[in-house]
Amino acid sequence: TGRCWERASRLFQEMPAPDVITFNAMASVWSAAGRWEQASFQLTEMRRRALQPSLVSYNAAVVAAAYPAGGEEGLGGRQPWQRALQLREDMQHGGLPSDVITFGALATACNRGLQWAQAVEQLLEKMPRASLTPNLVSLNTALGACEAGQRWDLALGMLLRLWRGDHGFQPDVCSYNAALAACGAAASGGGGSWRWAVQLLRGARLGAWGPEVRPD
């Protein structure tokens, strides 16, 4: 609740010499409260005190930008998704590797900010370049981004790779729902993707959607 982060903030300010662990704890409080600008400010304050932000520090700030509380817009009109991308750049410049949490939160921030292409790029292009494998939650986020971009073809390709086990796990209900939503969004624009949506429903019911499925 709001009162919890306010109490935590007062306690933090009363500490004479907080260390990295203490800063990370406070950043996590800001993150849980969706206070993305305060979570980002923690990084600046750490550097001002000659402390090196860790992966935990950055992830707290990126997650806060992915799930902002209240208004989406920050100071100077900056959007949370823009801040999330900037944080990743800062990590790269500082030689700090990202992890699955970083990329998942980045994709969520971009998706919520209606930047569907950025969301997909983070998970399907930049994440593998960092020698990381997306988990099911991350891939479902990318599938959800395909709905915003009306990229039913990309969504079906991702679902097919999941079904084949390319990522080491099978699609779940959220995966099918996201792919269906992408087909529905494209169909509303006059496309023929509704045929694929019908096949998806059949395949999901039978538990056997695969490369042999074709629209009627």
Q: What is the DSSP letter of 95?
A: T
pLDDT in tens, the chain (216 residues): 456 888 888 888 888 889 999 999 999 999 998 899 999 999 999 999 999 999 999 999 999 999 998 655 555 567 899 999 999 999 999 999 999 999 999 999 998 888 988 899 888 889 989 999 888 988 898 888 888 888 888 888 888 888 788 888 888 888 888 888 887 776 665 555 556 555 655 555 445 544 444 344
SS3 content of the chain, % helix, strand, coil (to 5): 70, 0, 30
CATH 1.25.40.10 placement within the chain: 1-133
Alpha-helical (H) ranges within 149-193 are: 152-164, 173-187
Assign domain 1-133 to a CATH class: mainly alpha
Rounded Cα distance, 2 and 8, in Å: 10
Rounded Cα distance, 64 and 60, in Å: 6
